[in-house]
């Protein structure tokens, strides 16, 4: 694939977004965790309420995990509506954000509220070129906590 992943049309991004990060969580953090969120179901997902279509990717015994993949630019890109939905999921159980750098093979596991604070303080608000949806762009140097090597 050429060009930045985020700049590709949503239909192209949909084919692989999140998969590598979810697999990395299962492999490097907890092989017994359960996959929880939607994985490209055969239904019109945009018709669903945003909170349901933004269900966290992983469920642990006492928390949820949202998996985010980053690549060569070392920058997480998370839609504002996803962050809002995760805040609602955190009423049910704590939510953590797992960030997987597929290029450097390192990862972070950050409390959702702490990650959201970092986005608001250090992130840059941007918009996807194909659909205009706003997202936070947060470089790894601003991620709270230390990276873990594999």
Residue 42's Cβ-count burial label (10 Å; 0-12, 13-18, 19+) is: exposed
Indicate which CATH number applies to the domain containing 82. 3.40.1350
| Domain carrying residue 119 | 5-149
For residue 2, the Cα-to-chain-centroid distance in whole angstroms is: 22
Q: Enumerate the β-bridge partners of residue 78.
A: 136
For residue 79, what are the CA distances in angstroms to 88, 121, 134?
A: 15, 16, 6
Full pLDDT tens readout for the chain, 150 residues: 445 555 545 445 444 556 899 999 999 999 999 999 767 667 777 788 889 889 999 999 999 999 999 999 999 999 999 999 999 999 999 999 999 999 999 999 999 999 999 999 999 999 999 889 999 999 999 999 999 999
pTM recorded for the entire structure: 0.86
As a whole number of angstroms, the distance between CA 150 and CA 42 comes to 34
- Domain total of the chain: 1
Of 21, 8, 10, nearest to 103 (Cα)? 21
Q: Cα-flanking dihedrals φ and ψ of residue 46, to 5°?
A: -60, -20
């Amino acid at each position: 694939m050429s060009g930045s992943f985020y700049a590709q049309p949503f239909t192209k991004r949909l084919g692989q977004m999140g998969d590598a990060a979810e697999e990395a969580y299962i492999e490097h953090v907890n092989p017994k965790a359960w996959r929880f969120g939607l994985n490209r179901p055969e239904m019109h997902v945009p018709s669903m309420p945003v909170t349901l279509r933004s269900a966290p990717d992983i469920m642990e015994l006492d928390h949820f995990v949202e998996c985010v993949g980053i690549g060569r630019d070392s920058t997480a890109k998370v839609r504002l509506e996803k962050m809002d939905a995760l805040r609602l999921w955190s009423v049910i159980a704590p939510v953590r954000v797992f960030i997987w750098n597929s290029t450097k093979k390192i990862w972070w596991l950050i409390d959702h509220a702490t990650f959201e604070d970092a986005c608001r303080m250090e992130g840059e608000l941007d918009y996807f070129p194909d659909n205009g949806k706003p997202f936070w762009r947060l470089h790894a140097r601003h991620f709270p906590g230390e990276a873990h090597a594999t």
